[in-house]
Amino acid sequence: MDEGKKLTCGVGECFREVPACVDGMTQVCVPGLPTLEVCEDNLDNNCNGKNDEYCAGGCAHDICVAAAKLKNDCNPCVGAICDTGKFAKCCVNSWDPDCVAAVSLVCGVAICKGFNCVHSPCMAGPPLTKNCDYPSSLGESCVTRICNEEPSCCNDTWSTSCVDKVNTICKLGCSL
């Protein structure tokens, strides 16, 4: 390989560029880890090829506030939430605390105050901290309930097993 060539991988904030060869050794490109989308920073934080998606609004109220039901088409995030099994109620009955929690779970957007996880519980990655997500209508937050059952999720890594528990323990659908 040519010492001057570069390898690239990942998209958005996960994009990486490394030399293809160093001292005659072929290199490997490892993309960065996605994080939750941060609104109005014009970056692709969740590494899906789109900047600040789900952030625009045309809803009757803020999607981070529990209040009246929202129309499915007022915001792409609301549409994604209301199309996810358990959360269909958010566009039928009311936009309750579980719907607010779904903003980060389903849409991967860290725009609501109180969500302090380093990544969505619906994505594998570094360990999460108990109570970094929103409490649900059941009391304890989803992350706390998962870490109480499987401590490695908060101590070692948030693995695909931990992501699966978002569905089985918390009964929240991950659509990421």
pLDDT, tens digit (0-9, with 9 covering 90-100), for 52-63: 666 656 777 778
Average pLDDT for 33-42: 73
Task: Answer left, alpha or beta for residue 122, where phi above 0 means left and psi between -120 and 50 means alpha.
Answer: alpha
**148: Cα within 13 Å, side-chain hemisphere:** 9
In the chain, where the domains are located: 67-168
- Whole-number pLDDT of residue 33: 83
**What is the chain's mean pLDDT, rounded?**
81
CB 106 within 8 A of CB 87: yes
Residues 103-139: tens digit of each pLDDT: 877 776 666 666 677 777 877 888 998 888 766 655 6
At 171 the pLDDT is: 73
